[in-house]
Amino acid sequence: MENTTTLVIAELTQVHGLASKLAAHLDSPHIDLCRTLARDIIFSIEKAIHTVTSITENPPAYVGSQPAEIPTERGRTNCRKMLPQYSSHVSMSSGTAQGTPNDGRTWRKYGQKSILGAKYPRLVLLLPAFNLQACSEKALTSPKRYRQQTCRAYYRCSHRKTQGCPATKQVQRSDENPAVFDIAYRGTHTCSNPPQQTTAAVMQSCRQENIWPQKTEGINSVLQYPSSSFSFPFAYVGSPSSSFMSSSTLGLKSHHGSAEITAAANDDTKFMDLGILFEVGEMVGDVPFDASAFFI
DNA sequence: GATATTTGACCTCA
DNA sequence: TGAGGTCAAATATC
């Protein structure tokens, strides 16, 4: 519940910031910007409502840190019912050809499964960790079993062996938005592994490598993100300029114990200009953002 | 050789 | 019995 409260508070904080920004621009000629801000406000409110609604309808059996499960003699948990619920979900648009989004932790992939009923089986095209050939061959040879399937990859903390860290995560494409990856985290890190990169360091490297998000031609307009990533917790809440927001949205948010990265784009999306991206954005949260490391 | 990934098999649950 | 989650041997990469 604490996690939910944090999420809702964060959303409300964002709404407050957006509303303030909207008020400041009411008398300006930038009507597109106002529309965008209004849309963001509505989105955040809907999200907060959804968060509260889902927690009411499906109270989690687990939130936050819990001791690692006691494995059986074969190293498996005895009762799946006792497994902790996902402590957080991250949605991230990523068409990078270099793997799943890096969240600052080191993960070891330990499995992959085809998931029935998913809308977007093309996930295998975007995440090289997924075996495209195997999936497609299975789809051809067993059309009934593999029809409309996508792959879900399973990762666990690299420090499970050395430190017994129970954290795991699952990565698959969102059914609701093909441009968004759903990354579900289970358990919390008990390892002492620090985040690999700071936000400023990541952005600095992105700027240097000129690998900021851009449209991927031919793959349903999926935004490409750099293979490097953001460390949590960090926060960026804001809206790109009106010209950009007319065709796409992007937001980065994080909270204690949970985080979310979202991005979406339609087919009209043009290359994102990072200067524009941060033009009307603002940093919130508890991690300092070193703008000097990002802007020349 | 160490480490990471792939993949078929196995286990649990509904 | 099928689906989801995990194991562990085989394989790939550095």
Q: Which of A70-84, A152-166, A231-245 ranks highest by mean pLDDT?
A: A152-166
Residue A270 is predicted with a pLDDT of 30
Residue A42 is predicted with a pLDDT of 73
Residue A243 or A152, more confident: A152
Residue A157 is predicted with a pLDDT of 87
Helix (H) or strand (E) holding A12: helix A2-25
Q: Is the pLDDT of residue A110 over 50?
A: yes
Q: Above pLDDT 70, what percent of chain A?
A: 28
Residue A53 is predicted with a pLDDT of 58
Residue A179 is predicted with a pLDDT of 58
Q: Is the pLDDT of residue A10 over 70?
A: yes
Q: Which nucleotide comes closest to A127 if you measure CA to C1'? A: B5
Residue A21 is predicted with a pLDDT of 78
Mean predicted confidence (pLDDT) in A101-115 = 78
C-alpha count within 13 angstroms, C-beta hemisphere, residue A210: 1
B chain positions with any atom within 7 Å of a protein CB: 4-9, 11-14
Residues lying close to strand C (Cβ under 7 A), chosen from 162-181 of chain A, are 168, 170
Q: Is the pLDDT of residue A169 over 60?
A: yes
In 3D, which of A84, A80, A88 has the Cα closest to residue A68? A84
Q: Is the domain A83-93+102-125+147-191 a CATH 3.65.10.10 member?
A: no
In 3D, which of A89, A78, A83 has the Cα closest to residue A66? A83
Q: Point out the least confidently predicted range of A80-94, A95-109, A176-190, A251-265.
A: A251-265
What phi and psi values does residue A293 have, to the nearest 5 degrees?
A: -80, -10
Q: Is the pLDDT of residue A204 over 70?
A: no
Give the residue extent of every domain in chain A: 1-56, 83-93+102-125+147-191
Q: Which nucleotide comes closest to A109 if you measure CA to C1'? A: B5
- Average pLDDT over chain A reads 51
Q: Is the pLDDT of residue A223 over 50?
A: no
Q: Point out the least confidently predicted range of A121-135, A184-198, A212-226.
A: A212-226
Mean predicted confidence (pLDDT) in A8-29 = 76
Q: Is the pLDDT of residue A107 over 70?
A: yes
- Residue A250 CA and nucleotide B1 C1' are separated, in Å, by 44
Residue A188 is predicted with a pLDDT of 74
Is the bond leading into A128 cis (omega within 30 degrees of zero)?
A: no
Residues lying close to strand C (Cβ under 7 A), chosen from 137-156 of chain A, are 145, 152, 154, 156
Q: Is the pLDDT of residue A61 over 50?
A: no
Confidence band for A218, pLDDT divided at 50, 70 and 90? very low
Give the pair of three-digit tokens for residue A167: 């954290």
Give the number of residues written for chain A. 296
Residue A137 or A11, more confident: A11
A18 and A34 in contact (C-beta within 8 Å)?
Answer: no
C chain positions with any atom within 7 Å of a protein CB: 2-8
Mean predicted confidence (pLDDT) in A3-11 = 69
